Structure 1
Amino acid sequence: MKLNIDFWEVISFMLSFAGLMFAAGKLLLSQIEKRLNERFEALEIARRESESGWSRLEREFFEFRADLPLNYVRREDYLRGQAVIEAKLDALYSKIELLQRGSY
C-alpha cells in the first residue's frame, strides 16, 4: 500500500491546521479575557464595598471623638479638679480650726 500526497495537499493541510490552531487560540484568549473581565468587575465591587465600609468606620470614629469629651475626663483635668477641691477643703478646715480655737 502506497500513500501519495501532493505538495499542494500538504500545504493545504498545513494551512488548515494553522487556521484551526489560530481559531482555537483566539477562542481560548477570548475566554481568558472574559474571565479576567469578570474577576476585575468582582474586584471593583469588593473595592467599592470596602471603601464604603472604611468611610462608615471613619465616620463612626469621628462621632466617637466628638462624644469623647462629653463622656470622659482627661487625667490632667481630673487631677486639677481634685487639687482645687482639696485646696477648698483645706481652706475650710483652716477656718473651722480658727473658729474652734477662738471659742475655747
Structure 2
Amino acid sequence: MKLEFELWHLITLVISLIAAYAGLVKLLLWQFAREMRERIQASSDASSAGLQAIQRDSQKWHDLELRFYQLLADMPVTYVRREDWARGQGVLESKLDAIALEVKNIQIQGGRK
C-alpha cells in the first residue's frame, strides 16, 4: 500500500491542524475568562455582603451605645443612691420616733389626770 500526497494536500492538512489547535486554544481561553469573571463576580458579591454585614453590626453597636448613654443620663433621675436612701430613711425614722414619743407623753399625761 502506497500513500501519496500532493503539496497542496499537505499544506491544507497542516493549516487545518493549526486552525483546529488555534480554535481549541481560543475555546479554552474563553472558558477560562468566563470562569474568572464568575469568580470575580462571586467574590465581589461576597465582599459587598460582608460589607453590608459590617455596616449592620456597626449600626447595632451604635444603637447599643446610644441606649447606654441614654440610660446613664436617666439614671440620676430614676434611681436613688444608697446614701440618699439612707438619709431619707433616717429622716422618716426620726419623725416616727418623735410621733411615738408624743403619743407616749400623751398617754403618760392622760394617766395622771
Q: What TM bracket, shorter-length normalisation? A: 0.5 to 0.7
**Percent identity of equivalent pairs:** 4
| Aligned residue in 1 for 2:110 | 100
C-alpha displacement of 1:96: 0.9
Superposition pairs of residues 18-97 of structure 1, within 5 angstroms: 18-67=28-77, 68-69=79-80, 83-97=93-107
Give the TM-score, by structure 2 length: 0.63
Deviation at 1:10, TM superposition (A): 3.6
Specify the code of the residue in structure 2 equivalent to 1:11.
Y
Aligned length, in residue pairs: 97
Letter of the aligned partner of 2:97 in structure 1?
A
Give the letter aligned to residue 54 of structure 1: L
TM-align CA RMSD: 3.1
